[in-house]
């Protein structure tokens, strides 16, 4: 049984919706146990990631990158990477973006 952590941040529930759908698929197809974790919780308790076999990370696209709260959770894992705690674990990611047509650049 694989233990997976789906870590996400989003202002309007899109990431949580996607995380729930993918988690449902992972639970049925891969006999995995999946915990949905808000990025803010990882910022406070990064060590809890080490108990998992893999991660699926979800952030909105803000200005071409991840959101500030999600980046904060990534930065909080610095010590884990330094000690190579996540080495060899499965990792995936997803985002939601929607640049309105009115803000597109035209040449």
Ligand X SMILES: Cc1cc2nc3c(=O)[nH]c(=O)nc-3n(C[C@H](O)[C@H](O)[C@H](O)COP(=O)(O)O)c2cc1C
> Looking only at residues 25 through 64 of this chain, which bind ligand X when binding is defined by CB under 6 A?
60-64
Residue nearest to ligand X (CB): 10
DSSP per position, 28-86: HHS-EEEEEEEHHHHHH-GGGGGG-SEEEEEEE-BTTB--HHHHHHHHTTHHHHHTTTT
Residue closer to ligand X, measured from CB, 12 or 51: 12
Handedness of CA 54, 60, 62, 67 (dihedral sign): negative
Q: What 3-state class would DSSP assign to 7?
A: strand
| Interface with ligand X, residue 99, by CB under 6 A | yes
> The tokens of 15 are what?
């990431």
Piece of 9-17, 26-34, 36-44, 79-87 that binds ligand X (CB under 6 A): 9-17
User: Which pair of structure tokens corresponds to residue 69?
Assistant: 């709260």
**Taking CB under 6 A as the criterion, which residues in 59-88 touch ligand X?**
60-64
Asked whether position 11 contacts ligand X by CB under 6 A, the answer is: yes
105 binds ligand X (CB under 6 A): no
CB of 60 to ligand X, least distance (A): 3
């Amino acid at each position: 049984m694989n233990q997976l952590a789906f870590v996400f941040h989003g202002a309007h529930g899109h990431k949580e919706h996607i995380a729930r759908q993918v988690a449902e698929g992972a639970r049925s197809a891969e006999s995995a146990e999946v915990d949905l974790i808000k990025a803010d919780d990882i910022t406070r308790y990064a060590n809890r990631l080490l108990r998992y076999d893999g991660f699926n990370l979800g952030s909105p696209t803000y200005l071409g990158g991840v959101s500030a709260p999600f980046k904060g959770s990534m930065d909080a894992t610095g010590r884990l990477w330094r000690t190579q705690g996540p080495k060899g674990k499965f990792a995936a990611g997803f985002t939601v973006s929607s640049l309105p047509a009115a803000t597109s650049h035209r040449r």
